[in-house]
Structure 1
Amino acid sequence: MKDIHDQNDSDELEDGNNTDDKNNDNSKNKLNSDLYNYYDPESLEDKINDLYESKKYDDALPLINKYLELYPYSVDIWHKKALVCDALGKFEEAVEYFDKAILLNPNDIEIYLNKAIALDNLEFYDESINTLMRVIELEPDNLEALFNLGLAYERLEKYNEAAECFRKVVSLDFNYRDAYYELGYCYDFLDMFEESLAAYKKHLEMSPMNYNAWYNMGIVLNRMGRFLKSIECYDMAIAINDKFAPAWYNKGNAYAAIGRLYSAIDCYKNSLELKNEDPFCYHNIGNAYEEIGEYNLAIEYFTKSIKLDPKNYESFYGRGNCYYCRDEYSKALEDFNSALILCKDFSEIWYSKADAEIALGLINEAIKSYENVIKLESKNYDAWFDYGCALVEANKFNEAIQAFENVSKINSIWSEPFYEKSKIYFITGEIEKGVENLEKGFNLKPEERFEYDLKKDWKKILDFLNNR
């Protein structure tokens, strides 16, 4: 009895499922029927287009899918589905549906153009270029394809190829203002500054309120060393958009370049009001105060820069220089060491570190630091000279002589290394060599020559050498 009862229950469950399936099929049939009856293809497509134009992409997608169930070979709706996915940020899906549309109509230029944009959004620049080249095969003078091809080349930093595309655009349409803007950008990267300025000026004739173009033109003028003209361009950008922090920042750089440091500081501070967590801005203010000699303020701003960007070796270096100028050599050395942890190949930091070590009496450490300087800059005669002086302090006279001879090889008209060698030879009792080098120094700098009798004027000679 129990088995029969269980079996009956099972039969009833199966019967229930069959009923549900039939109801579902009926619902689907009814929906399909409604779509056929209520929407003819044209009406359904109009509804999809209305939703797309209203940017109701999520609402449009179900209708698109239903349309494609009914009409799977519709090029326009596959294209529309791709555009909806693109608008929703689903770029990979968009490319898939663009390809379906292309399969159905391989000569539709608009589909290729939109596919190229989706590929660009995916940062698939080479694929985007290939797609745009297909458009140009179909229509060689297609402005949109040529312009977007230029943008794709730009993103790959192929500025010659990009510029060629933009030149082609303006040859076909003299009033294509965006192409002039991009030409200016490309020419800047190609160090073709006059051509860059001409392109930006042409763009600004048509779009005088484009603060980005004024700003970019200022950058080009700045690179050309025309700092006052660059300031005028930054002023135009700021007049159009006074909240544009980069214009304030680079205006500050231009003022700093011409030595107007307080004006530079004011600009940097205006930039910080708009973008208050910019370590480069704090660093540049620190640099300006350092040049002015206001070391306390410089240290304050370098410290703010370091807090925002602890890997900014230049701020450690700048702050170290300020501590050095305040005779706080231990703090200076600490900052120079921090800078070198971040950047070991900057000879100026090694040089400053050596100077701080000399000031602290750390002669052997200074010698090692000077050695790093001359490894990085083998022709730096100042470094060879200071290295030689440190070796003298360490009583390493033979090595010091060699260092001073290297100085003379690099800078043969400088008298100082001869005086230093003279001093060493006198210390080591090699009087003739001492006199010989003293005379060589006098020959290079006759105004320092004085008459002496080696036996009677020994103290005079030593005072001359020691007080240099």
Structure 2
Amino acid sequence: MTEMDKGIQLMQEGKLEEAAKYFTEAIDQHPGEPVHYINFGNLLLHMKDYERAERFYRKATELDEKAATAFYGLGNVFFEQDDFIQARDQYQKALSLGLEEADVYFMLGMACLYDEKFKFALPYLQRAAEMEPDDADVVFQYGLALAQTEQLAEAKDIFQQVLELEEEHSDAHYNLGVISLYQDNVDQALAHFNQALAIQPDHLLAGNGKTQIEKMLEENE
């Protein structure tokens, strides 16, 4: 096991100080290797030390201007600080350099989604869902992008896929409830809101949806 491998394993185990020691030794021994700066950047990002993480990722790109994972790391630095425009730029750079991974497409889609660029988010989240069809969170976010671009029938199918992957996904039930309301199926909407609340009793949106439906039904009696 190399110093880098030891450091990565320690980081995954949550032993951050020990991981930092191994990454520092790796940099000292091989100061021209960008991967060691990327690993240290990942550690610093995990520790929410965004300023230093950015410096390490940028050092990696200085050593190798085609270090795609360094640009992905920079994207994460900006994303975590809610700078979604810069995050998108860095993720797109990583993609252009050949980092064809679901995580990159997913994070690029999320950066667009959080910046309310819903139509731009859609193809990236679709691609991520195609690459990770068993990841309920990835598939859910794709469904959310479909819903936010008013493709309700397609969104409904995707949220139902989410429930096949994870039966107790309260947000999927909530969104199916909203779609049911749009389709004038009040009983089905109420059922989904109730299921969301059974899974997550403090689900405020589902609770509000249920209250509004019950109020409407009382007024129509």
TM-score range, shorter chain: 0.7 to 0.9
Call closer, same or farther: CA 1:320–1:454 in 2, change over 3 Å. closer
Offset at residue 424 of structure 1 (A): 1.7
The question of 1:315 aligning with 2:70 is answered: yes
Q: Distance in 1 between matches of 2:199 and 2:118?
A: 30
Which residue matches 1:393? 148
Note the 1:15-30 alignment, pairs <5 A: none
Choose from 4, 15, 32 the match for 1:277. 32
SS at match of 2:173: helix
Q: Which runs of 5+ in 2 are unaligned?
A: none
From 425, 446, 468, the equivalent of 2:180 is 425
User: How many residues are aligned here?
Assistant: 213
1:60 aligns to what? Answer: none
Q: 1:399 to 1:260 in 2, by over 3 A?
A: same
Deviation at 1:256, TM superposition (A): 2.6
Q: Which amino acid aligns with 2:91?
A: F
Indicate the RMSD between aligned Cα atoms, in angstroms: 2.5
Take 2:112 and 2:202, find their aligned partners in 1: how far apart are those partners?
34
Post-superposition Cα deviations, 1:17-43, rounded to whole Å, max 9, x if no partner, equal xxxxxxxxxxxxxxxxxxxxxxxxxxx
> Which entry has the higher C-alpha Rg, 1 or 2?
1
Q: Does 1:378 align with 2:138?
A: no
Residues 96-147 of structure 1: CA distance to partner in whole angstroms, max 9, x if unpaired?
A: xxxxxxxxxxxxxxxxxxxxxxxxxxxxxxxxxxxxxxxxxxxxxxxxxxxx
Change in CA separation of 1:452 and 1:263 when aligned onto 2, cut-off 3 Å: closer
Is structure 2 residue 173 aligned with structure 1 residue 414?
no
Letter in 2 for 1:401: K
1:447 Cα deviation (Å)? 7.5
2:211 counterpart of 1:456 = no
SS in 1 for 2:215: coil
Partner of 1:348: 103
- Give the whole-Å Cα distance in 2 for the aligned partners of 1:454 and 1:437: 12
- Could you list the per-position Cα deviations for residues 182-203 of structure 1 after superposition, in whole angstroms to 9, with x for gaps in the alignment? xxxxxxxxxxxxxxxxxxxxxx
Query: Which ranges in structure 1 are unaligned for 5 or more consecutive residues?
Result: 1-218, 220-245, 459-468
Contact 2:119–2:149 (Cα < 8 Å) also in 1: yes
Indicate whether 1:263 and 2:18 are aligned.
Answer: yes
- Matches of 2:198 and 2:179, distance apart in 1: 19
The alpha carbon displacement at 1:410 in A equals 1.7
Alignment check: 8 A CA contact 1:371 1:387 kept: yes
Q: Is the 8 A contact 1:345 1:376 kept in 2?
A: no
- Determine the structure 2 residue equivalent to 1:296: 51
1:117-266 aligned within 5 A = 219=1, 247=3, 249-266=4-21
Deviations 1:277-333 (A, max 9, x none): 111111111011111100110011011111212222211111110111111111110
Distance in 2 separating the partners of 1:447 and 1:274: 52
Aligned residue type for 1:309: D
Given that residues 320 and 332 in structure 1 are in contact (C-alpha distance below 8 angstroms), is that contact kept between their aligned partners in structure 2? yes
Give, in whole Å, the separation in 2 of the partners of 1:274 and 1:452. 63
Report % sequence identity. Answer: 21
Higher relative contact order (CA 8 A, sep 6+): 2
* Distance in 1 of aligned mates of 2:157 and 2:183: 15
CA distance in 1, matches of 2:56, 2:212: 57
